[in-house]
Chains A and B, each alone.
Chain A
């Protein structure tokens, strides 16, 4: 299952949903908004998304992971819009017969997602400054 949502992620439900009688490993990764980046304090992240393409790329990543590893289930949920400190922006749940492939697949899914899925985060700092995070490009702030 692939989802892009604007509300809170229910990660416990996601983990429960990948359970399978033939799975001996159930793995959940939850990415949350971190308060501190270096010395700067974040108050929230705003996520922008090219929704149609992001859904397509997430589905491709899921299909490739299921082809590459003997997984029982893969669920990926990305939250977009405003995500406050401590709240989850990403949850990835996988299940497999043994743990090694679950760890490998989850790592690959998250790494690949961060490389190709058209979703962008904007840091909103506690002083009100906002900066888009575009790795490799020079930062530009507004407000």
Chain B
């Protein structure tokens, strides 16, 4: 299935895009998504180690399942305020 990932801040600058599409296998989890991100976009490796993953605007863990059509956000360490 295809998963859409939205990018912000340094991750967006590294890729030069504000989103990307990933091709994933069946019943993927957030852990699978992180591995696929590094494989398909190795330039993200450094920042990815510091990022959280949001699924449908909620922070996730590696075991969180991904549904078809869900929105995944790559969240670098935040610095609001």
A-to-B contact residues, CB < 8 Å: 31, 47-50, 52-54, 56, 78, 89-90, 110, 113-122, 132-138, 140, 142
Chain B interface bracket (under 10, 10 to 19, 20 to 34, 35 or more): 20 to 34
Among B9, B57, B77, B81, which residue has its beta carbon within 8 angstroms of that of A90?
B81
Among B6, B12, B47, which residue has its beta carbon within 8 angstroms of that of A137?
B47
- Within the assembled complex, what's the spacing in Å between the Cα atoms of A122 and B77? 12
Do the beta carbons of A134 and B8 come within 8 Å of each other? no
In the complex, whether B27 has a CB less than 8 A from a CB of chain A is no
Do the beta carbons of B9 and A132 come within 8 Å of each other? yes
Residues of B within 8 A of A31 (CB): 81
Do the beta carbons of A120 and B57 come within 8 Å of each other? no
B-to-A contact residues, CB < 8 Å: 6, 8-10, 12-14, 46-47, 50, 54, 57-59, 73, 75-81
Nearest 3 pairs of A and B residues by beta carbon: A119-B80, A120-B9, A53-B57
* Chain A facing B: main interface SS: mixed
Q: How far is the CB of A84 from chain B (nearest CB, A)?
A: 16
* Chain B facing A: main interface SS: mixed
Residues of A within 8 A of B47 (CB): 134, 137
When C-beta atoms are compared, the residue in chain A nearest to B9 turns out to be A120
Do the beta carbons of A136 and B77 come within 8 Å of each other? yes
If A118-B8, A120-B9, A122-B9 touch, whether A134 touches B77 (CB-CB below 8 Å) is yes
Q: How far is the CB of B61 from chain A (nearest CB, A)?
A: 15
Q: How far is the CB of B13 from chain A (nearest CB, A)?
A: 6
Among A121, A133, A134, which residue has its beta carbon within 8 angstroms of that of B50?
A134
When C-beta atoms are compared, the residue in chain B nearest to A119 turns out to be B80
